[in-house]
Structure 1
Amino acid sequence: MKEALIFLVLIIFQITVMPDTSSGLSISKPGCPDKCGNVSIPYPFGIGAGCAATSLSPYFAVTCNNSFQPPRTMVSDNSTTREVIDISLERGEMRIYSEVSYTCFASNRTMPENYTSGFSMEGTPFLPSTTRNRFTVIGCSTMGVIGGYMHSNPNLYVAGCYSYCQSINSTSDGAPCIGMGCCETIITPNLTDFAALLVINQSSVWKFNPCFYAMLAEAGWYSFRQQDLIEHLGFVSGKAKRGVPLVSDWAIRNGSCPKDREKAPRDYACVGSNSYCVGASNGPGYLCNCSEGYEGNPYLPEGCHDIDECKLRKQDPKYEQLYPRKDGVCHNTPGGYMCKCTVGKRSDGTNYGCRPILTKSEQVAMGLSISAVVVMSLTCLLVMKLQKMKHSKEKDEYFKQNGGLKLYDEMRSRQVDTIRILTEKEIKKATENYSNTRVLGCGGRGMVYRGILDDGKEVAIKKSKVIDDDCREEFVNEIMILSQVNHRNIVKLLGCCLEVDVPMLVYEFISNGTLFEFLHENDQRSQVPLDLRLKIATQSAEALAYIHSSTSRTILHGDVKSLNILLDNEYNAKVSDFGASALKPIDKNDFIMLIQGTLGYLDPETFVSHHLTDKSDVYSFGVVLLELITRKRAIYIDNLNENKSLSHTFILMFHQNRLRDMLDCEIIDDEVMIVLEKLAELVMHCLSPRGDQRPTMKEVAERLQMLRRLQMQLVKKNQPYQSALFL
């Protein structure tokens, strides 16, 4: 192909007359940049690893050159790298800067100064647009020729135009390019390779027209100027300094639109819901569009979003003609809109018109009937009003009993604005009236519901058991302290509801379940690498260390277990369920009576003394560490089908030097065995029978951080050796 283009160049130069010597919703993949400088980068294009649809074509990967200000987007074809002006998903177009072919003469008989531009787009998703580009020639007594090959066609394609002018005065600025000073012509579709050349008779024009240009450029971009004829390379160094804009049609070239009822191939690009496929207008392949009534990126799974026609009508009058409404109230629907008729009217058979339902006589009869109904309704309303007043009075009483007035006073005095006090109505709406489908979990201390507030925020709503009168003041104090807890690994308290008999707490919603479910109730039992287990352990320890030592008053969790450690989508740990646990007394002579705990996690010393301390949380956390490294439950069933205590079994096996028998086989690796041994020693310290022999949670967190760093160093150190084994 390239040899044929060179042959074309030689043929054209042989016939040349010369002297004896001579163009707001998310458009990119999540986590990928959506802009480079002023250019938006919609998927399937992308910047960086994993951001472009390289499985469809490697040429969808673009780069961002930050050496310019603003940065410039660059794309490669088979011949070179070119700057991108903009990318359009809707039209399937990419505008780029293209080079200009030129020939310049210093005199009638000197060798010309030449530059020939061309493209090779074979194998790429790009083809020069036949409707949006024009082959343009600038000069006098000049013929421009474009030659190349079309997709899947071995025959050579040649086209061109001729520009003539006797003198500079025979031309005028802004004149159309129809042959006087400049000319232009269309190109054929499916053109994959091409070069632009010039055939010149300079003998009569070189004195006032030293340079001649040929280019494939966006239609309408060039406007003729006399100075482009006069100046030596003035057009290239001026208007076309960065090149000329060229419109490339792009498409998914390796495939076509599935036929009706035909199963789409695995690499089908139109993955967005509410999207459809359309065949490419230039060359093979197809494009994806959002369905009517939707907009966005059809190449992303959830890229097409509903257009709110009613909202647009309010924003700009021009949309009133695009989305007409004769009568009624505009109502947005998925993929469209409709007009809801007002009372007394019904649809006229169109989507946007209404007409009266009843005649005048029918309306009179209806009015009398309605009057009778109104009288009855008012009677019912009066009864309901009295019941509502009674219920409202009960809510006021509950609000006072549950410390609502004290909470308001505390919030004003401390200027706390992070706690939101919700009404019973808001809680019922958020939980769909405490629907069973909204239950996240239940236990001895109450129920937890998944709720959605009016602002769309997902929350977890905890409905605790009835609180004694003696505990209500302490309950308010705990809310105030927890409102000031701000740690990335602690589930945040967002609000409360006090106007019910059982006060309710509202927390942020963590969507990925509990650590207990992740370790023990995974149906496929997917592998959990050691670095992830260390990450979860470290973050949980940092959260407990924070509530023990970094808050205004020490908060004791009292029920540390894997069920109370939540995981977000990135598997970051979030310690939860200590909203109504206990505050460590300021007076050291006071102590907290143990009122809760979970079998298998409970500190033996606390079980005997009934005194809850910060070292009680350390012991329970030691059991959680055991779950992470053994992947066994705190109370598990052994091979003899007997219930066993994980902590007691581990202590026995550790003293018998049988650590490997207890560890989860997924993480046993000689490379990191030292980390596992150090981790086991830390567990043993946490499980010490006496609380004063256990480390603090701050010390536990620091040791886990050191073990994480050690594990990463060991893995990194052995990576070169592991790579060599695969060579």
Structure 2
Amino acid sequence: MAPMRRLQCFLFLTLTLISLLPAAALAASTTFNMSLPGCPNKCGNITIPYPFGTRPGCYRPGFDITCNESTTPAKAIMGTNIEVLDFNITSAEIRVLNFIGYVCYNQNSQQNDTWSTPFSNIGETKTYLFSHRRNKFTVIGCYSLAYINGAQGNGSYSSGCASFCQSLNSTTGNGGSCNGLGCCQTAIPAGLSYYEVSWGFNGNQAWSFNPCSYAALMQEDWYNFTVDDLVGNGFYERNQNNVPIVLDWAIRENGTCLASHVESSASPACQSIHSGCDNTTNGDGYICKCLQGYEGNPYVPNGCTDINECNIPNQYPCTGTCVNIEGNYECLCPKGTRGDGKAGNCTKIPENFPYPAKVAIGCILGVAVLVGICFLAIWHKQRRRYIKEKDEYKKYYEMMDNHLRVFGTKQIEIATNNFDENHIIGVGGHGKVYKGLLENNMAVAIKKSKEIDEVQRGEFVNEIILLSHINHKNIVRLIGCCLEVQIPMLVYEYVPNGTLFDLLHGKSKNRNRPISLGTRLRIAVESAEALDYLHSSITHSILHGDVKSANILLDDEYHAKVSDFGASNLLPVDDAQIVELVQGTRGYLDPECLCTQIITKKSDVYSFGVVILELITRKKAIYADNETGEKKHLASCFISRLSKNKIHDMWDVEIVTNDEKVNLVLQEISELAVQCLSVRGDDRPTMKQVAEELQKLLRFHTSLSSWQIDPEETDSLLSETKFDSVSDTPAFHSTNYMKVLEIDTEAPR
């Protein structure tokens, strides 16, 4: 009988062990890999998760921790002497102990003990930054003013906080907020990597009941004010000269989350297959996170494990049958019910399909059919329109006689990386300019404009046909166009060295370098020749309409390339009336054009006169007076100074010399510019005359390097030019179309 009982006991124990196996397996499945294999994950009572570690090969660069085993229990130390309290992988935070700054006074109000030390730079690798969300700069005392000074990015940061109270009873009381009565708190900005404390008062009027004041950056939700903190030096002793502070950490060596995946030489920090990354909100860099439905350490392989939501009903509710799946869970409503079990909306299924439901479904189906019919009708109409436009584009392509290359939409998208914002090199009122790279590695500028109507579309294509025949070395070349979209796009040669405006006044890389008079004259000559070509050297005259230094581009050799011509104003539908009334840019506008509302070739001459003034004065068309700060009109001021024989003061000091012949060249240029700025258009020279006169001046200036100059030749070159009065009638001017390479001078290049 005894053997039988022993067998029964054995079977009972075996079944009990078998029943416990699933629970043991479940417990094993929810343990996380917090450190690398073979690396210790504990220091005393603190868990050390990777990317942190205490041994070489067990941590990422900048995340090393020292385990001081000479104490009981052992302490985790960051840097040289900063004690770590805990790590948080999920929020990418580390809590450490921070020293308390204090100052104490005796009965004579003499400072008898002061201590204020900077919190050491938290890692030369810039792994850590003070958390601006979790910390506050806190000052405790009844007659206290403390300052916090530190480093924020590449700059500095300073702030302060003051706390007062007439007596211990006048404070906010135990557990009160730090509102300035006994204590105060102030926020810090993001990006703070270093700070130190300094004091504002040299005495303490409250020394009799509050001899010591304290200041430190500390964890905001850790500190609760009590009156005892003001008595003696109790606050310092109770906390043993330390308060907790929260540091934000991130993977900062690879920049952003995107860069960590693009940079082939970098080792991505997010090692778990069920992990992703987010850019940090404090400084540069990114942090790793387990995907939704997973938990653990995303920085180690297989560190993110599935969450069994069914075991956490308080966090993942289910009113039906809970079924755990990889990365999620399902909640099945009980049999005979339907709905969303996660939201607790399992309702009983009605036995009979009610009549109102049938009516509702019928109405819905009817509406769906009507919507489908309307959709098909619209699709059919658009299809016919697309076919018609393709036929028109084919006709336009044949008319262009292969002068231009016609690009497909796909080619443009590939060249601009689907119109990536990083490819934008200019933004104007009528569209954007993208830098693109064609399949043959040729850099181009692609102009994408706002929406236009059907009439403007036809006029625009006719304008492209005309511009396709323009060929001048000092005019930005139109390479091709894309007509497969509703908003046509133009493709131009890419001019890499910015605009003349940037070189003279703006953000050019050569902004501070001197520009010789010869270079300025050459830019003026090339620009004038280009405008003369537009006015007279092709079948139909083209008026630029917006001549300014921002529309003169410069190549690598600083040769001029005139842009924004021909199809200069591609009007948006809603802005049509406004653009008809206002043309050009303030400071360059022809006053006669403003009165007559008719633009002529002489309008371009006037605007070019302002550009000449910019070249010899290096002042903007509308500039601020250095003494008064008053906005002044360059053309008006220059003409006024010329009439008083005081233009020498306005010349750029970089080109003024003691050589009378050089100054004579500047005088001739000045008088030529003033002739271009005549109020009456008939009194202005033509662009051809301007170009010829500038060429003479350039030749003469070049010849100054030789000491053998024929006086008669000098007189011939610099003789006063008497321009014939030539009446200029309005010619073809395409101001109804797109700004060609309209690049905002404030836009990045």
Report the TM-score range of the alignment, normalised by the length of the smaller protein. Answer: 0.3 to 0.5
What TM-score does the superposition give when structure 2 sets the normalisation length? 0.41
What TM-score results when the alignment is normalised by the length of structure 1?
0.42
